[in-house]
Amino acid sequence: MKLFTIALLALNFAFAHTFNFSLDSSVVSTRTSGEYQLISDFSVEVIQTLKKSAIVSINGEADEYTARVSSRINDLGEKETTYTIILKSDVLADMVCDEREEVNYELSFTQLSAAHFSIIRTIKMEANLMYTYDWCHSSADYTTITYQLN
């Protein structure tokens, strides 16, 4: 049964290597600069994963990104690994040891791999807004905006 499920997943993702993400509203309010225009559309293709990095194509441009492995499960020859990659970061305010605000575009995906196949099981794209009024001495407030998978 497990082999049948894997075969169906492999067939399902064999023809869908590119994932398209979008936002309904791409303008967000910020504390330091008023409004910020988020990137409204992403076209993502995971080309290859390495030990601590991944080669990902964003809107047709491939690059290697540092990948944080947030979970790894090995089960009877299959490996399920969840990666998190910061694709882009915009600093909106940086006052040394004072106010700081930034936006990080974060891609998370889970890859299932075995000897003869590799598929993306889940994939998620988010924009994370971070603000702190005192970067050195206080905690930060985070707002997460999740992109829709088209």
Q: pLDDT at position 145, please?
A: 94
Q: Which pLDDT tens digit goes with each residue over 105-137?
A: 999 999 998 888 888 889 999 999 999 888 778
Report, in this order, helix, strand and coil percent for the chain, each rounded to 5: 10, 65, 30
Whose tokens are 């890859």? That residue is 111
Neighbours of 146 (CB within 10 A): 11
Q: Which pLDDT tens digit goes with each residue over 6-35?
A: 343 344 344 347 899 999 888 888 888 788
Neighbours of 142 (CB within 10 A): 11
Q: CB of 92 within 8 A of CB of 102?
A: yes
Q: Which pLDDT tens digit goes with each residue over 60-80?
A: 888 999 999 999 999 888 999
Q: pLDDT at position 127, please?
A: 95
Domain range for 120 is 2-149
pTM of the complete model? 0.79
**Number of domains forming the structure of the chain:** 1
Contacts for 34 with CB less than 8 Å, ≥ 6 apart: none
Neighbours of 46 (CB within 10 A): 20
